[in-house]
Amino acid sequence: AHRLILAKSDLSIHHLLAPVLARTRSPQKAALETSSVELAAQMAKRGAGIAFQTRIGIEAELSAGSLVHLPLNDNGQVLSDLGVYVRSSRYLPVAVDAFVRALCE
């Protein structure tokens, strides 16, 4: 069995993976739980286990071949809602608002 490097509950990927991991035949205790995406990637790179994350932030490692991205398939894909966030009682800058509206069309 491979050791798992999992995200702590304060990261969204933790909540995306929880149902998938709950259905595994032999649940495993994580070798490491961290809130640091960088630490998880570095530990995987050093062979300490398997980390779960998106391609974002590990592009250089993927290009160099030091990490490999294998998309998860859980009767479809494990999907996340991508959003733009702003502090409450504030408004998005006009350019950001226009960009987001263009993306949504």
Q: Give a yes or no: residue 53 inside a domain.
A: yes
Q: Is residue 66 part of a domain?
A: yes
User: Would residue 72 count as lying in a domain?
Assistant: yes
**Do 41 and 67 form a contact (C-beta atoms < 8 A)?**
yes
Total count of domains within the chain? 1
Residue 94 lies in a domain: no
User: What is the residue whose two structure tokens read 């932030």?
Assistant: 57
Q: What is the pLDDT of residue 23?
A: 78
Sheet holding 50-51, edge to edge: 32-34, 4-7, 50-51
DSSP label at residue 96: H
86 domain residue, yes or no:
no
Determine the pLDDT at residue 99: 87
**Contact present, 34 and 8 (Cβ < 8 Å):** yes
pLDDT at position 93, please?
Answer: 84
Residue 89 lies in a domain: no
Q: CB neighbours of 19 closer than 8 A, spacing ≥ 6?
A: 74
Q: Which mean pLDDT values do the consecutive 10-residue runs of the chain (105 residues) have?
A: 87 84 75 92 93 88 93 65 74 86 83
Task: Establish if 45 belongs to a structural domain.
Answer: yes
Domain-located, residue 70: yes
- Domain carrying residue 25: 4-80
